[in-house]
Structure 1
């Protein structure tokens, strides 16, 4: 099985677990004289099974990511780099938006006697930096996805 397939299975297992959790909670109590829609004990057993499957997948995915080479490092290194780039992009974009006044209501001044707000940061430079970060994220994502489909999942 390829790493990409395991990632799809992991996402599916996480969704199934969340659905089972909601069903267990919805059927954990019922009114006297009524019958619950589903057997909460059986649902809980299914949830335990899915948790075990999920744990196994996560272990194998993590083991594979640590061993798989991507560029000069490992897949784990690339994932950490992508996460850091996304965080940086978010900060730079938020700073540019704030400096440009995008978070202000009403836009500019209504009267000449009102105070005028000036940007404390170079908005154009921040936008250019955000664009460069977005490009790096896209390129790294492509490399990660390619590797996901090339690498076999480790046991």
Structure 2
């Protein structure tokens, strides 16, 4: 099995656990004289099976990510850490540019000439340019990670 397939199965298992949790909580109590919509005990047992499968998948995915070398990016774990940091960096830069340009104020700008002007403490154009560069790096890295996901076999 390829890593990408395991990642898809992991996402399905997480969704399944969440659905089962919701169904268990809705069936955990019922009125006297009525039947519950579903058997909460059976749903709990099913959720425990799915959780065990999920744990195994996560363990295998993590082991594979730590062992799979993808060139200059290091291991997949290294690349995923870099991708997470690039996402945060992009968010910081765009938030700073938005705040400095006044986009975050939502119409609370200067109304009269006698009011004090708001000045930018940051160079907006430079921040947006830097954010564009980070976004480009993020896209490039994401392509390499996705390629590796379809090329790397899942370890046991």
Identify whether the pair has TM-score above 0.5, normalized to the shorter chain.
yes
Match of 1:122 in 2: 123
TM-score by length of 1: 0.98
Q: How far off is 1:71 after superposition?
A: 1.9
Instruction: Show the 5 A alignment for 1:29-48.
Output: 29-48=29-48
1:77-132 Cα deviation digits (max 9, x unpaired): 00000000000100111000000000113253211111100100000000000000
Q: Does 1:89 align with 2:90?
A: yes
Match of 1:58 in 2: 58
Match of 1:79 in 2: 80
Give the paired residue count.
155
Match of 2:28 in 1: 28
Match of 2:134 in 1: 133
Structure 2: unaligned runs, 5 residues or longer: none
In structure 1, what is the Cα distance between the partners aligned to 2:79 and 2:15?
Answer: 25
Q: Does 1:145 align with 2:146?
A: yes
In structure 2, what is the Cα distance between the partners aligned to 1:75 and 1:94?
Answer: 28
Q: Secondary structure at the match of 2:59?
A: helix
Q: Secondary structure at the match of 2:36?
A: coil
1:18-45 Cα deviation digits (max 9, x unpaired): 0000000000010101100100000000
In structure 1, what is the Cα distance between the partners aligned to 2:3 and 2:102?
Answer: 44
Q: Does 1:109 align with 2:110?
A: yes
Q: Secondary structure at the match of 1:69?
A: coil
Q: CA RMSD in A?
A: 0.7
TM-score by length of 2: 0.98
Moved over 3 A (4+): none
